[in-house]
Chains A and B, each alone.
Chain A
Amino acid sequence: AQTVTQSQPEMSVQEAETVTLSCTYDTSESDYYLFWYKQPPSRQMILVIRQEAYKQQNATENRFSVNFQKAAKSFSLKISDSQLGDAAMYFCAYRSDIIQGAQKLVFGQGTRLTINP
C-alpha cells in the first residue's frame, strides 16, 4: 500500500520569505499523481498544485512550485514571497494512475504553516 509522510508538523516563515514543505511517499507504481492541498482555517480543502509522475519538469503555479524527485520519492512544496493568506494546513497527497474506478487519495499527516508579519 502507498504511504505519504510529512515530517514537519509545523513550520513558520516571515512574510515575503520563502519556505519549503517536505513530503516523501512510498509506492511500487511507476505512474501516479501527486498533489499539494491547502486547508485554511475555514477547513475548505483547496488544490495548490499537482504533478504527474511521468513528467520530469517540476510543476509551478505562480508563487508555488514543487521539487519532484521521483527516484528519491520526494515531493516538496516551495512557497515564494510568503503572504499572510498562505497560513494554513498543507497536505501532500498521492493518487494512483488508474483509468477506471475511484481515484483514491492517500494523504500525509499535514504541515501547519504560520506566516509571521
Chain B
Amino acid sequence: SQTIHQWPATLVQPVGSPLSLECTVEGTSNPNLYWYRQAAGRGLQLLFYSVGIGQISSEVPQNLSASRPQDRQFILSSKKLLLSDSGFYLCAWTPKGSLRAEAFFGQGTRLTVV
C-alpha cells in the first residue's frame, strides 16, 4: 500500500532563518506531488506541484521554493523565513492516469516563524 511521510511535524523558526520541509511517498512510482499551505482558519492553498523529477510549477509567488530531487521526494524550502510564512503545510500526492483518484495527504507540518 502507498504511504506518504512528511516531517517534521512541528517547527519553530526565527525570522530570517532557512527552511527545509521534506515529503516522501512510498509504494508508488512517478506520482504527482503537491505542497499546500493552510493559514489559520482558512482553506488550503496550492503552493507548488510537480509531475516529475526536476519539474516544479509554482502557483503563488512567494518566499518559498520547491524541489524534487528524486521520484518520490518533494522538498519545500526557503532561504530566509518571513513571519507571513507561518502556517500548516501539507504535502500530497496523486497517481497519474486516474481521473477519479483522490489526493492523499501527509500529516502536515505546523510552522511557526517567530
Q: A43-B88, A45-B90, A104-B34 are in contact. Are A35 and B102 (CB under 8 A)?
A: yes
A33 touches B43 (CB 8 A): no
Contact A105 B108 (CB under 8 A): no
Secondary structure at the B interface, as helix, strand, loop or mixed, is: strand
B43 and A97 within 8 A (CB): no
Q: Which residues of B sit under 8 angstroms from A97, Cβ to Cβ? A: 99
A44 contacts partner chain B, Cβ-Cβ < 8 Å: yes
From A43, A102, A108, B34 is in contact (CB under 8 Å) with A102
When chains A and B are docked, how far (Å) is the Cα of A91 from the Cα of B44? 9
A109 B43 Cβ-Cβ under 8 A: yes
Across the A-B interface, how many residue pairs have beta carbons closer than 8 Å?
63
Q: A104-B34, A108-B43 are in contact. Are A44 and B51 (CB under 8 A)?
A: no
Within 8 A of A (CB), among B15-69: 32, 34, 36, 41-46, 49-51, 57, 59
**A-B pairs, 9 with minimum CB distance:** A45-B105, A107-B43, A102-B49, A107-B44, A47-B102, A103-B94, A109-B43, A43-B108, A102-B32
Interface set of B (CB-CB < 8 Å, partner A): 32, 34, 36, 41-46, 49-51, 57, 59, 88, 90, 92, 94, 97, 99-103, 105, 107-108, 110
